[in-house]
């Protein structure tokens, strides 16, 4: 709590023991977090974990049942007018009049804010320049997604709240958006985003909170989170049945074995020794290896270890 208080001066977002219930369901359970100004902060978790509820409380669309929230020093409920002028919000539901063009939709949102970005600038960032005259109800899913992210950005707010901004985008478009977010970060913006893409959190976010069933189960930089949980590297064996688990567990250096989707992942502190023994096993025809990959442990592994489930389940 002391650290939380100390950093609050630089913080754009301060959340203390925030709780939200819907009937018997506790959607958000006593979460606390601080987002520093200029940081890209990711909230990572499966669908229904409480990410959207958290965002909606932070931007003043829902009221909390308990706890304290401050964004840019404003209370989102009582000071919502001041707050909304200095943030940008992208929700999963697009706020679009169907028969406006891309350009008109952006232009309209721009007029709500005191110091917006030029429409042309945002069109370029979002890769929508050649779609500017198109009616929004005729856009493809990916184009629509980019438009609503653009509508959140155009207000030039100090803090951006993006609820799953890259959902439905192809990898190319996703990487383009990451570049834009990093550019905005260089301009001094704070970005609070939710995602269920591990690689997005790992690549883009300075810090990540992993949320599951409404509670934060881990919080830190991606490297910290992985380092805390794993000294090991991961060895992925594809097309490997779970009947081999016992043998694999005995290999040198192996600390843990995860089986999922006909694939076995070994976590090893001595990768070389483990591999040598694996090849030996295959040579003795006690094991058939059809695919093998070695990688550093990722947030996916962290999530798997903490919850016992894959995030996409």
Partner 1 sequence: MKIFFNLVMATLKDMIRDKMTVFWFILFPVLFMFLFGMIFSGPQNVNFDLGVVVEEPDFFAQSFLANLEQVEMLTLFQGSLEDELDALGQRKRNAVLVLPDIQFGPDLFNEDQSNESVAIPVYYDASSQANKVLIFMLSEIFNHVERGMQNRARIFTLDAKPVQAESLRDVDYLLPGILAMALMQLGLFGSLRLVYLRERRILRSLGATPLPRTHIVLSEIIIRLLMAAIQTLLIILIGHFVFDVQIMGSWWQVLGAVFFGAAVFVSIGYMLVTFAKTEESGNGIIQVVQFPMMFLSGIFFPLEFLPAFLKPVVRAIPLTYLGDLLRSIIIGVPYAFGLTTDLLILSGWLIVSLIMTIRFWRWD
Name the site residues for partner 1 (rule: CB under 8 A): 59-61, 81, 84-85, 89, 91, 93-100, 104, 107-109, 111-113, 135, 155
Closer to partner 1 by CB, 193 or 226: give it: 193
The encoded tokens of residue 259 equal 């089986």
- Closest-CA residue to 33 (of 162, 192, 186, 164): 192
Closer to partner 1 by CB, 95 or 288: give it: 95
- In the complex, least distance from residue 55 CB atom to partner 1, rounded to whole angstroms: 9
Closer to partner 1 by CB, 99 or 295: give it: 99
Closer to partner 1 by CB, 58 or 240: give it: 58
Closer to partner 1 by CB, 56 or 232: give it: 56
- In the complex, least distance from residue 215 CB atom to partner 1, rounded to whole angstroms: 25
Q: Are 108 and 166 in contact (CB under 8 A)?
A: no
Closer to partner 1 by CB, 137 or 295: give it: 137
- In the complex, least distance from residue 78 CB atom to partner 1, rounded to whole angstroms: 16
- In the complex, least distance from residue 101 CB atom to partner 1, rounded to whole angstroms: 9
Q: Are 33 and 18 in contact (CB under 8 A)?
A: no
What distance in Å separates the CA atoms of residue 161 and residue 259, rounded to the nearest whole number?
36
- Backbone dihedral angles phi then psi of residue 220, each to the nearest 5 degrees: 165, -175
Cite the beta strand spans of the chain per DSSP E.
11-22, 25-36, 40-44, 66-71, 87-90, 159-163, 190-195, 207-212, 215-220, 233-238, 254-260, 263-268, 291-296
- In the complex, least distance from residue 307 CB atom to partner 1, rounded to whole angstroms: 30
Q: Are 38 and 204 in contact (CB under 8 A)?
A: no
Closer to partner 1 by CB, 32 or 92: give it: 92
CA distances from 238 to 94, 164, 248, 264, 292 (A): 40, 30, 13, 7, 7
- Closest-CA residue to 39 (of 251, 190, 175, 162): 190
- In the complex, least distance from residue 69 CB atom to partner 1, rounded to whole angstroms: 15
Count of C-beta atoms within a 10 Å radius of residue 152: 22
Closer to partner 1 by CB, 94 or 220: give it: 94
The encoded tokens of residue 221 equal 């930089």
What distance in Å separates the CA atoms of residue 12 and residue 159, rounded to the nearest whole number?
7
- In the complex, least distance from residue 85 CB atom to partner 1, rounded to whole angstroms: 5
Q: What does the CA dihedral 211, 213, 216, 218 come to, rounded to 10 degrees? A: -60
- In the complex, least distance from residue 99 CB atom to partner 1, rounded to whole angstroms: 4
């Amino acid at each position: 709590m002391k650290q939380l208080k100390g950093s609050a001066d630089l913080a754009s977002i301060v959340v203390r023991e925030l709780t939200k219930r819907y009937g018997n369901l506790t959607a958000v359970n006593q979460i606390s977090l601080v987002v520093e100004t200029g940081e890209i902060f990711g909230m990572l978790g499966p669908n229904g974990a409480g990410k959207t509820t958290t965002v909606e409380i932070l931007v003043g669309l829902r009221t909390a049942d308990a706890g304290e929230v401050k964004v840019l020093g404003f209370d989102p409920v009582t000071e919502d007018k001041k707050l909304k002028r200095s943030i940008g919000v992208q929700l999963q539901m697009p706020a679009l009049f169907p028969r406006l063009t891309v350009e008109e939709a952006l232009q309209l949102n721009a007029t709500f804010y005191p110091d917006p970005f030029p429409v042309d600038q945002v069109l370029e960032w979002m890769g929508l320049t050649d779609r500017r005259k198109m009616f929004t109800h005729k856009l493809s899913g990916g184009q629509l997604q980019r438009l609503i992210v653009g509508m959140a950005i155009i207000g030039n707010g100090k803090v951006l709240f993006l609820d799953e901004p890259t959902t439905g985008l192809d990898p190319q478009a996703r990487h383009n958006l990451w570049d834009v977010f990093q550019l905005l970060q260089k301009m001094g913006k704070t970005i609070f985003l939710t995602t269920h893409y591990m690689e997005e959190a790992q690549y883009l976010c300075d810090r990540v909170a992993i949320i599951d069933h409404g509670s934060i189960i881990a919080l830190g930089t991606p490297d910290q989170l992985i380092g805390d949980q794993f000294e090991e590297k991961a060895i992925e064996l594809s097309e490997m049945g779970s009947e081999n688990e016992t043998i694999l567990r005995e290999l040198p250096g192996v600390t843990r074995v995860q089986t999922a989707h006909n694939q076995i992942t070994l976590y090893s502190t001595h990768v070389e020794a483990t591999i040598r023994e694996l090849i030996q096993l295959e040579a003795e025809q006690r094991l058939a290896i059809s695919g093998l990959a070695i990688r550093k442990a990722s947030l996916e592994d962290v999530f798997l270890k903490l919850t016992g489930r894959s995030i996409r389940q």
